[in-house]
Amino acid sequence: MAPGADAAVRPAASPGSPWSLLDRVQIDLGYMYDDNVTRGRAADEILADQLLALNVSAGATLRINDNARVVVTGMFTGEKFHAYNGLSNLSGGLQAELQYRQSAAFDAVTFGAFARGWLDNYVSHLRDGGHFALGVNAQSAVSDRIAVSGEFAWNRRSAQSEVWDLDYYSARLNLDYSLGRSGTFYLNGEYRRGDSVSDGRPSLVNVSLAQVFVLDDAFPGKQLYAYRYDARTWVATIGYNVPLNSQASIDVSWRRAQATPTSRPDFDVQGSLRYVDNQYSLFLLMVF
């Protein structure tokens, strides 16, 4: 139930009509502290920052039959960084998802296949471009308290700089544990395999790992180079969602990511090649 996640409350289509427009609108407003916005590996490459974020999503649903429907969701996000404004961005896009549920049974699994695309506009123009993802997912209630979902996706990102031309696969598993009126506790784990980006000094290690690099315009005066490399990335999120009323909730979470290059230089390297990033967030979620 993290910010930006699909709202749990999904009003049904009007009786007799196969469609509903703007059947849900969700607005997330929050704050995040990120202890490694550069995704840097070495101490002198790591920069921390904090940001304010706004996510707005709105969806429409087309009922196909009793078991299937198409959900189209429009998404808009904005992030404003405090220290490194180059990372500030506005993004907007759409997701179309075909959902299928075999029955109306409580524990019936809902399967989905989706395509998602959005455009990014950063203050750092090197990052400007778009994302595209294709994937499948499944979600089910295990009990009246526990819900699980999973997703596998292929992701592609294109940008002004080839450094952010990324290609990777991701697999995600989510567990929601409801505490009733007290809220929902959730765990989320994600594994990504493919391109990743870090910022670092123009060192031999970084150049050896890099497929392509560029002087990063998001950190002026820092002489940091963003470089793309092939990596295994683990992302784990633990969070708690506290309902305020039927339409609003507070969400707090801790997200930890670590990426390890899939290859090592041909020489001895002191220290780890892995980067670790922690993000601490507090969001207000509103559903209309």
Partner 1 sequence: MTQTIAFTRIRAWLAVAIAALLLAACGGGGSPGDVHPGTDPVLVAGEPNAFLLFPNPQVQPDGSLQTNTAAYAEAYYAAIDPNNTKDTFAKWKTANGFDTANGTQVTAVFGDTRDLGFGRRVTGRQNPDGTLAFFVENYLVKTGGSYAFSPINLEAAIVRDPKSLVYLAAIEFSPGPAGGVSFAKFFNFNVVTGVREPMVDIDGRGDKAMPGTCLTCHGGRADALTPPDVSGKPRFSLLHNVVSRTRGDTQGQLPPFEVDGFQFSTTPGYTRAEQEAFLKTMNRMILCSYPLPAPSAFPEDACRRPASAGEWQGTASALVKASYGGDGLPNPVYADVTVPASWTAAGQTSLYTTAIGPACRMCHILRGTGMQSDIDFTTYEKFQPYADRTYATVVNRGNMPLAKLVYDLFHASPGEETLANFLAGQGFAARDASGKPLRPGRPIADPGPDRVLRQGATRLSGTDSLYANTYAWTIVSAPTGAPAPTLTDANTAQPTFNAASDGTYVLSLVVGNDSAQSAPKLLTLVVNNALTPAPNAIRFSNIKAVLQDGQKCQGCHSPTSPLPAPITFTNDDRDGDGVAGTATDDAWYYAEVRSRINFAEIAASELLRKPAGLHHRGGRGEGFDTSAAPGQPARAKYDLFLNWALNGAPQ
Residues linked to residue 151 through DSSP beta bridges, in sequence order: 137, 172
Q: Which of 51, 210, 257, 273 binds partner 1 (CB under 8 A)?
A: 210
Closer to partner 1 by Cβ: residue 95 or 281: 95
Q: Which stretch binds partner 1 (CB under 8 A): 124-132, 189-197, 234-242, 278-286?
A: 124-132
Q: Which of 286, 2, 7, 8 is nearest to 141 (CA)?
A: 8
Q: Which of 38, 77, 86, 118 binds partner 1 (CB under 8 A)?
A: 118
Q: Which stretch binds partner 1 (CB under 8 A): 3-11, 92-100, 136-144, 272-280?
A: 92-100
Q: Which of 56, 103, 61 is nearest to 75 (CA)?
A: 56
CA distance 288 to 279: 27
Closer to partner 1 by Cβ: residue 11 or 202: 202
* Residue type (1 letter), 223: Q
Question: How long is the chain?
Answer: 288
According to the binding rule CB under 8 A, does residue 218 interact with partner 1?
no
* Residue type (1 letter), 77: T
According to the binding rule CB under 8 A, does residue 266 interact with partner 1?
yes
According to the binding rule CB under 8 A, does residue 136 interact with partner 1?
no
Q: Which of 169, 82, 165 is nearest to 130 (CA)?
A: 165
Identify the DSSP state of 265: -
Q: Which of 12, 15, 17, 180 binds partner 1 (CB under 8 A)?
A: 17
According to the binding rule CB under 8 A, does residue 158 interact with partner 1?
yes
According to the binding rule CB under 8 A, does residue 116 interact with partner 1?
yes
SS3 of residue 98 by DSSP: strand
* Nearest distance from C-beta of residue 281 to partner 1, angstroms: 25
Q: Are 92 and 119 in contact (CB under 8 A)?
A: yes
Q: Which of 255, 211, 204 is nearest to 231 (CA)?
A: 211
Q: Which of 187, 207, 189, 190 is nearest to 198 (CA)?
A: 207
x/- map, 70-89, partner 1, by CB under 8 A: x-x-x---------------
According to the binding rule CB under 8 A, does residue 68 interact with partner 1?
no
Residues linked to residue 81 through DSSP beta bridges, in sequence order: 51
* Nearest distance from C-beta of residue 235 to partner 1, angstroms: 21
Q: Which of 85, 121, 160, 260 binds partner 1 (CB under 8 A)?
A: 160
> Which residues are near partner 1 by CB under 8 A?
17-19, 21, 60, 62, 70, 72, 74, 92-96, 115-119, 126, 128-132, 156, 158-165, 202-204, 207-208, 210-215, 265-268
